[in-house]
Copies of this chain bind each other. A is one copy, B any other.
Amino acid sequence: MERHATTGLLRRPDVTLPRRLALSASTIDGGITPRAEVTDWITRRSLEQRHEVARIPFVALRNWSFHPASGDLRHDSGHFFRVEGLEVHSDYGPVPHWSQPIINQPEIGILGILVKEIGGVLHCLMQAKSEPGNINGVQISPTVQATKSNYTRVHKGKPVPYLEYFRDAPSEDMLADVLQSEQGSWFYRKRNRNMIVEVTGDVEPREDFCWLTIGQLQQLLRVDNLVNMDARTVLSCMPAGVEGNPLDAETDLGAAIARSAETSTASLHTSTAVMSWITSRQAQHEVSTATIPLNEVKQWQRGEDEISHDLGLFFSIIAVEISTNSREVQTWTQPLVRPYGTGVVALLVKRVDGVLHALVNARVEPGYLDVVELAPTVQATPENYTSALSGDRPPFLDLVLASRPEQVLFDTVMSEEGGRFHHACSRYQIIEVGADFSDEGLADFRWLSLHQLTDLLRHSHYVNVQARSLIACLRGLR
């Protein structure tokens, strides 16, 4: 980027950045960390980060307790997060009014990936990190993944490595910097700051860290439960890097994705029409939410070691004790959200004249700040739809469950955030349908091209965390 010496004006687009990103995305073997070493690194770190998680009764929680009046589950410091109640009135979906437990975590944390050109190729500094709710050992995480309570060291743990690169970064070094929401069914208005910062100086990788190219990360996204949610959401905010990736041209699919990512490509709907559709969905749905005392939530019961729904559906709140040798503190206890069943998260895609489009759903979740965000085509836990309670089956769920192998472009089980969720796994799929599959008459669905989604990802409140995961995965398909 050049700043004019006397006027101070900056040329607007960094013309070389898309090419540098494309080079990194096409580098799978030529990076500083050989492919075999990545597997070794993960295995080694899993062994190293001894990590035991045991369910405990609520009374065994240390520094956490239920408030006597409200029944809210809170940390004594007032920091971290609280489990409260949420009351929802909605004109959307089969259930117009309900209450539920919800995590209230008003602090904005940092999810940051440090990027550096090494040997002429951009590399991302990734962390092998175990989390109490992980179904396996460590997963690949961003360079920094820290709540404000973490990095202001409320729990008096070790300092967060590399945090200074994000807290003090000049805005000219940012490749991305945007607040993004997390699960709106489980979190009340939670947002994290998704940051990608490029450094030019020396950065020494500490023992839990490793430099990986974007191409390597795209490969690793295809491995079950390996790249964690926080890494996926930050990667989804990466600017487009589409020009001249030689791998894209190798297959028809790669070319269709590359064309879809080009801002100059024609799409089924203009960007103004897409914005208008989103606005119409926000204006259409009236959803009012209010936090209420946890003990006023209806149809949920608090037992000795679990807060659960009368029908045994949705999720429960549990308590765990964690012992590890690699976290900021050595042992601790905390509540976790434990969802029932394995989620189905699927994006239908189609090629229109050689340009890939994805079918997104304007979805209402009670925890969103602005009512509606764009979700994958299907985002559901099939088990929740077997009972009489939940009414209508989500559109396209049965189509996804019945998809034929040759339609499935991507199919990986991935975990939601292990710091808040216990064994929360979903099957993430990208499924191709025929070009005649239209969105006409589907008020809550639209076919968007990849560059339209990338544009939206520069802003908050548009693309939900499940869709962000699938966009990060979609970019790596060929």
Contact = CB atoms under 8 A, between A and B. Distances in A.
B193 A279 contact: yes
Copies of this chain per assembly: 2
A177 interface: yes
Nearest to A287: B106
Contacts of A272: 14, 171, 174-177, 239
A179 B279 contact: yes
A108 interface: yes
Q: Closest 6 A-B residue pairs measured CB to CB?
A: A177-B276, A7-B353, A9-B266, A171-B273, A171-B276, A174-B276
Interface stretch (A94-102, A240-248, A401-409, A453-461): A453-461
A353 B106 contact: no
Given A106-B286, A171-B273, A4 B266 contact: yes
- Determine the interface band of chain A, counting residues with CB < 8 A from chain B: 35 or more
Contact of A267 (B10, B107, B270): B10
Contacts of A270: 1, 10, 12-14, 172
Given A4-B353, A171-B273, A270-B1, A279 B9 contact: no
Contacts of A279: 177-179, 193
A242 B343 CA distance: 49
A389 interface: no
B275 A177 contact: yes
A12 B452 CA distance: 10
B369 A12 contact: no
A330 interface: no
A264 interface: yes
A146 to B, nearest CB: 12
Interface in A3-28: 4, 6-14
Contacts of A107: 286
Interface string A256-282: 000000011111111111111101101
Contacts of A9: 266-268, 352-353, 355
Given A174-B276, A273-B174, A369-B369, A288 B12 contact: no
Contact of A171 (B1, B193, B277, B288): B277
27 contacts: A8-B268, A8-B352, A9-B266, A9-B268, A10-B267, A10-B269, A11-B266, A12-B263, A12-B265, A12-B266, A12-B271, A14-B270, A14-B272, A106-B288, A108-B282, A108-B283, A174-B275, A174-B276, A175-B272, A177-B272, A178-B279, A179-B279, A239-B272, A275-B459, A369-B370, A370-B460, A370-B461
